[in-house]
Amino acid sequence: MVLGLSKYVFPEGFLWGAAASGTQTEGAASEGGKAKNIWDHWYEIAPERFYQGVGPAETSDFYHQYKDDIKRMKDINMNSFRTSISWSRLLPDGVNVNQEAVDFYQNVIDELIDNGVKPIINLYHFDMPFHFQEIGGWENRKVVESFAHYAKTAFQLFGDKVKLWTTFNEPIVPVEMGYLNDFHYPCVVDMKRAVTVAYHTMLASAMAIEEYRKTKQDGEVGIILNLTPSYPRSEDEEDVKAARIADLFFNRSFLDPSVLGEYPSELIELIKEHDLMPETVEGDRELIKSNVVDFLGVNYYQPRRVKKKESPIDDSQGILPSHFGDPYIWPERRMNPHRGWEIYEKGLYDIAINIKDNYNNIPWYVAENGMGVSDEERFMDDSGMIQDDYRIEFYQEHLKWLHKGIQEGSNCFGFQVWTFMDNWSWLNAYKNRYGFYRVDINTQERHLKKSGLWFKEVAKHNGF
């Protein structure tokens, strides 16, 4: 590849990297002074819920192998990496700092910087400390205040070197998976409680941003949202309304307050209409309005396709988002059969234009994009390298649409994949692999895949 012949060249200084989380990569779940989080607890009481019985203690061992792994990042020309601090590792009792954790995260940050890899540090990635969950987790405003203390502590400890922070990764996911179905602990199905959890999470993000601004440090703070463009089946008024409500619940419930400083009026009216309003405290509205993000991270995997409600409504568990519309199968869709997700690359372009047109063209980056495939050993050649051309094609097609959005003025500054190496993924454990590096979970050895070689060239030439 020669830069002058590259068709898709990205802006100067563009970030090329990968994303991960502490719980999914560190391992060492009971080492180094770490307290239990909800995943450690859930695995203790229900290991059968996890694919092949693999729990968070058996993740990719980044806690011990970070130096070699960061060297591997440099080897494929990554210039950025996003991971998360484990709240229950840094502050095991929620108040006092664990020096072993400080040393670990300082070493990781230093190693990244020394290898020319910009650290982007996220504060919360689905990993509520269990002792806080026991008092209600995000349902309890005391936990919101404890999060602000945690954020302040992290900024003070690491903010001299970390210049890009994010408060939450995909905050809608613990709401949806933990309080609207049973795929995340605490496995509650109750929309009123879900709304409270979402609201308190948004307050926690705003409080963390407020704490960052108080530090007067010279970095920026944002949030990472998984945006799923909601496409109606047709222009029929009821189909369009169903898609708009899905967008309100799953995208704009965090996007609008994070970037614009206020909730959509239509969402507030809908919540009030169904008696789902959370308790508010004087000053909440001003807190959210005055602490919007500096930048936005966007995770994009698949679209949401919606039609008017046609299936029978089961109201045995009260009102739920599914009561406002049904999923719709687009006749032209292409699927990732391993993950069960639609592949729709243009969705990334639509997100880019939406941010440009409706969200002040805020600086943003693709914080996750990836293709999970099971049993990847099927695609291994005689040398031991997985020939994941399907993943290369997936990234190329998404990058073409992202490039188009940037050409049309969307203010995107980076593209990070999920993920650098195969890692543990909640209930799915190691079922679906996403990494540039294959991880043998029996030996913890890493092996580069073909997609890693492709990415090495793309990052080197800032395009393809």
Give me the active site residues, please.
170, 368
Count other C-beta atoms under 10 Å from residue 8's C-beta: 16
Closest CA to 307 of 228, 249, 238: 238
- Rounded (10°) angle between helices 99-114 and 62-75: 10
HSE-CB for 184 with a 13 A CA cutoff: 21
DSSP 279: P
CB contact at 8 A, 280 and 203: no
Alpha-helical (H) ranges within 35-91 are 38-45, 62-75, 87-90
What tokens appear for 127 in the block?
Answer: 């990993």
Residues contacting 220, CB < 8 A, separation 6+ = 163, 164, 165, 294, 295
Phi, psi of 122 (to 5 degrees): -105, 145
- For residue 9, the SS3 value is strand
Residue 309 burial class via C-beta count within 10 angstroms: exposed 0-12, middle 13-18, buried 19 and up: middle
Residue count of the chain: 464
| CA 50 to the chain's CA centroid | 20
Q: How far apart are CA 393 and CA 402, in angstroms?
A: 14
- For residue 451, the SS3 value is helix
What tokens appear for 261 in the block?
Answer: 């400083």
Q: How far apart are CA 84 and CA 104, in angstroms?
A: 12
- For residue 16, the SS3 value is strand
Which residue type is seen at 334? R
Q: Which residue has the tokens 């704009």?
A: 252
Q: How far apart are CA 265 and CA 282, in angstroms?
A: 19
Pairing of strands 412-417, 364-368: parallel
Residues contacting 373, CB < 8 A, separation 6+ = 336, 338, 339, 388, 390, 391, 432, 433, 434
Closest CA to 231 of 152, 305, 283, 163: 305
